[in-house]
Structure 1
Amino acid sequence: MKMSKLVYSLGVLMCLAFAKAYSQQPIESVLSKEDAVKLMLENNYGIKIAENTTKIAENNSGILNSGYLPSLQGTAGASKDENDSRTDFNGALDQNGDPRPDIEINDAQTTQYNAGLNLNYTLFDGLGRLYNYKRLQEQFALSQLEARSTIETTTVQLMSVYLEVARITENVKVFEQNLEISKKREERAQYQFEYGQANKLEVLNAQVDINTDSINIMNSLQQLRNTKRDLNLLLNRELNASFAVDTTVTLQSLLVIDSFLEKVPENNVRLLQSETSLQISDYDIKTTRALLLPRIGLTGSYGWNRTENPPSAFFPATTRTASNVAIGANLTWDIFDGGSSINNLRNAKIAYENEALFKSQMEQEVARDVANAKGNYMNALAIYRMQEQNVLTNKSNFERTQEQFKLGQVSSVEFRQAQVNLLNAETVKNLAKYDAKLAEYQLLQLAGQILNVAL
């Protein structure tokens, strides 16, 4: 029996030691919401990838990819031929009547040089490149909206984890205060036992509650460390970097929220994306229709040649240089290409109809999501207000029970129950507070204002 009591006492002391060690951490610098968002924008992998994708789309939308600039091609070449020759006159006589000697020429070199420029420019292509250029501009705008969507989604995800760190931080403080209450109760029970005013059971019950409260702190601190690592991962920094968070929660005015919701069609990123995609489909139709029209182009060329010929049996060495300039125009019209252009035009029109249907569907989905999000926000806000009142009620009940416990008018079980009720009310209030703030963030994201308001 004595051994079991000793083991139990050691267990209580160990829990107290762990709780004290974990709770007495060095003061950490506060990572504000604004700093967290700044680090996210600078370091988050998903946002970096989205930004690089936007840069590619921006490059593609520039004049260098528009088809409006001419193409200029330069060519140059050089060649050298080396020949050996022998000319036999077959007994022919020269002017003196003597047989003409054979003429032998070795290592005779013929050298040729050439250079040229070729210019091609499309004057008219049925306005295809105009609409293609506008399409690329819309593609760039769409990539910007996709990057914005990534940033908004990551911001809400970041704030969700940030709020969870804040909630657990506040819970740890509540558990620590609860542990202090249990310690004072155990001290009181110990004094009463020593002076014969209480039995040993009161002391043991107090020690059991201290053990339970210490375990709650240990579990919460471990959960806090894990959640901080989740936040560091989103910020793409050292996973075990130590920091504290701002637990202050300021909820937006309902009038401000309603003013944001009135402009959802103008600011919601999903609706803007669907509108841009519809415009791209319209340009696809016009670009395809341009294939049915003729194309007019200009061509120009400049050439330069130089040939150096060696001497031959009958002629001396010569050098020939020539240059030429040519300008032309061409007309190309695919009067009938087997029907592929007509078929592509039909498909482009169907694709446009699909995008229009998708836009209508998206409008309904966003309207539903906004209604649900606002309902969730109002419900979370009401629950938070009720939980605030619930904490006040439980706190008043605990204080009265504590006074009665000191006077011996209530039992330790009733005191502990009041203590646990207050603990639960405070932790539930913390949960309701941060749930309401997260619901507000989600509503602001749908309104397209998450990046424009103070977090």
Structure 2
Amino acid sequence: MKSILYTLPFFLLAFINTGQGQEKMLAKDEAITLALENNLGIKVAKNTKKIDENNANILNSGYLPTITANAGGSIDQQNTEGQLASGETRTADGAETRRYNAAVNVNYTLFDGLNRHYSYKSFQERSQQSELEVRQTIENTILQLFTVYYEVARLTENTKNLEQALEISKDRLKRANYQFEYGQNTGLDVLNAEVDINTDSINLLNSRQQLRNTMRDLNLILNQDLSSQFVADTTVNFVPGLQMENMHNDAKSNNIRLQLVEKDINISRYNVKAAKSVFLPIIGLTGTYGWNESNNNSPLAFLIQNTSTGITGSVNLSWSLFDGGRGITGVKNTKIGYENQELLKKQIALEVERDIRNAWDSYTNALYVLEVQEKNLQTNQNNFNRTDERYKLGQVTSIEFRQAQLNLLNAELAQSQAKYSAKLAELQMLQISGQLLNVDF
């Protein structure tokens, strides 16, 4: 049993040290650039924006005329018999008649009850809304990016702390072996030190595995090779001078959800006006330039060849006086849709106010927890330093030393967790206030 415990730490250490290499630093601004350029969700949102821009173009407005061209030809062969005024009878076998025609038609709607006017306005609002949706996608992606990025940074710090804990346990094992050889302690201290090395080695292996998995998550967001390795920047800078009143005011004017629902209200308003166009007449212009030619080789024909060209134009008026009630129903339904958007806006406004207040409380609480954890870390660091000195002098047991070591490790992990939790709370608050893309990370 002793030999197994003695060999296991060195096997774990050999496995831990395998594949260690230098990796390049992935700075925060570089991560943002990669996400904006490569993230698939952002690309989809931008393509959707292009579609809405095309819909809002004058070519899709209905304000331009339609022009069509058509042409045709026919050949007719018939056997005919006719009697002239003189009484003479004539026959024509296989008499052939050829007809050709071509025309260019122009149609233009002068007035359609303002339907196209408000539909065009609606398309323009939708185009502006799609820009906001791109911004929303970018905000969500940036927040997701830093949620994973700071998790990589946290696991990086945790891994370093676990590596330091493992080094301390290795030194303790050497000291225990020396003391055992000189008869200053029993073999129990050596076994305890070996068990603790096993525990620290397994914790370090698990932390590194979590770090690799989280790096793959980040590579997925950046749309790059999932096997790419990098080092995250573990420095955290908080935005100075944040105040609740300013955050609250910014949320009212800049929150993306409020801006999106405002566009929905505008679109619904234009839909109501467009629906009312069914009660008004439609006035249109039609113009045609045509060419016709006819050839007839029958001796009975009055004209052997006939060619004509000309321009025709007309004004059309159409007014649906009653369509069975469908128009009235449509107007009623679009009005209800508009009312629903107004109610939804009130609901979202309440939710945003709740979210910004909750986010502010979470942010200030996270900063306080971070301050407490930093003080706790300093206390545990001082306690460990004292215990280490006393352990070297033989004034404390290995169990007491190990407890001080674990206290320090737990304090380091807690302080790291508090630091990144506070930063994420800040980013979430900035997103709700609409300021996420206006700050330095």
Q: Do residues 280 (structure 1) and 267 (structure 2) align?
A: yes
Decide whether the 8 Å contact of 1:281 with 1:351 is kept in 2.
Answer: yes
Q: Pick from 121, 127, 130: which aligns with 1:134?
A: 121
> For each residue in 1:343-389, what CA deviation from the matched residue of structure 2 results, as whole angstroms up to 9, or x when unmatched?
22222222211111110111000000010011111111110111111
Decide whether the 8 Å contact of 1:87 with 1:313 is kept in 2.
Answer: no
Decide whether the 8 Å contact of 2:248 with 2:353 is kept in 1.
Answer: no
Distance of aligned partners of 1:225 and 1:349 in 2 relative to their CA distance in 1, 3 Å threshold: same
Query: What displacement does 1:88 show?
Result: 11
Secondary structure, in 3 states, of the residue corresponding to 1:68? coil
Distance of aligned partners of 1:316 and 1:279 in 2 relative to their CA distance in 1, 3 Å threshold: closer
- Specify the alignment match of 2:238 in structure 1: 251
Amino acid of the structure 2 residue aligned with 1:157:
Q
Q: Pick from 59, 74, 81: which aligns with 1:79?
A: 74
- Specify the alignment match of 1:443 in structure 2: 429
Amino acid of the structure 1 residue aligned with 2:70:
T
Query: What displacement does 1:430 show?
Result: 0.4
Q: Pick from 326, 329, 332: which aligns with 1:346?
A: 332
- Specify the alignment match of 1:96 in structure 2: none
Decide whether the 8 Å contact of 2:275 with 2:331 is kept in 1.
Answer: yes
Runs of at least 5 residues in structure 1 that lack an aligned partner in the other structure? 94-99
2: CA distance between counterparts of 1:257 and 1:198?
60
Q: Pick from 343, 346, 352: which aligns with 1:360?
A: 346
Alignment of 1:48-447 (within 5 A): 48-83=43-78, 108-255=95-242, 259-310=246-297, 312-313=298-299, 318-447=304-433
Query: What displacement does 1:179 show?
Result: 1.0
Decide whether the 8 Å contact of 1:16 with 1:211 is kept in 2.
Answer: no
2: CA distance between counterparts of 1:206 and 1:257?
51
Decide whether the 8 Å contact of 1:19 with 1:215 is kept in 2.
Answer: no
1: CA distance between counterparts of 2:355 and 2:76?
80
Query: What displacement does 1:317 show?
Result: 8.0
Query: What displacement does 1:313 show?
Result: 3.5
1: CA distance between counterparts of 2:437 and 2:191?
55
Distance of aligned partners of 1:41 and 1:369 in 2 relative to their CA distance in 1, 3 Å threshold: same
Amino acid of the structure 1 residue aligned with 2:2:
K
Bigger CA drift: 392-401 or 253-262? 253-262
TM-score (norm 1): 0.91
Amino acid of the structure 2 residue aligned with 1:162:
Y
Distance of aligned partners of 1:33 and 1:78 in 2 relative to their CA distance in 1, 3 Å threshold: same
> For each residue in 1:316-359, what CA deviation from the matched residue of structure 2 results, as whole angstroms up to 9, or x when unmatched?
98221101211111222222222222222222222211111110
1: CA distance between counterparts of 2:126 and 2:415?
47
Amino acid of the structure 2 residue aligned with 1:388:
E
2: CA distance between counterparts of 1:35 and 1:127?
50
Secondary structure, in 3 states, of the residue corresponding to 1:242? coil
Amino acid of the structure 2 residue aligned with 1:298:
L
Decide whether the 8 Å contact of 2:65 with 2:109 is kept in 1.
Answer: yes
Distance of aligned partners of 1:308 and 1:405 in 2 relative to their CA distance in 1, 3 Å threshold: same
1: CA distance between counterparts of 2:300 and 2:317?
50
Distance of aligned partners of 1:27 and 1:86 in 2 relative to their CA distance in 1, 3 Å threshold: same
Decide whether the 8 Å contact of 2:101 with 2:292 is kept in 1.
Answer: yes
Q: Do residues 18 (structure 1) and 5 (structure 2) align?
A: no
Distance of aligned partners of 1:437 and 1:315 in 2 relative to their CA distance in 1, 3 Å threshold: closer
Amino acid of the structure 2 residue aligned with 1:71:
T
Query: What displacement does 1:80 show?
Result: 2.4
TM-score (norm 2): 0.94
Query: What displacement does 1:31 show?
Result: 1.4
> For each residue in 1:22-52, what CA deviation from the matched residue of structure 2 results, as whole angstroms up to 9, or x when unmatched?
5xx2111111222222222222222222222
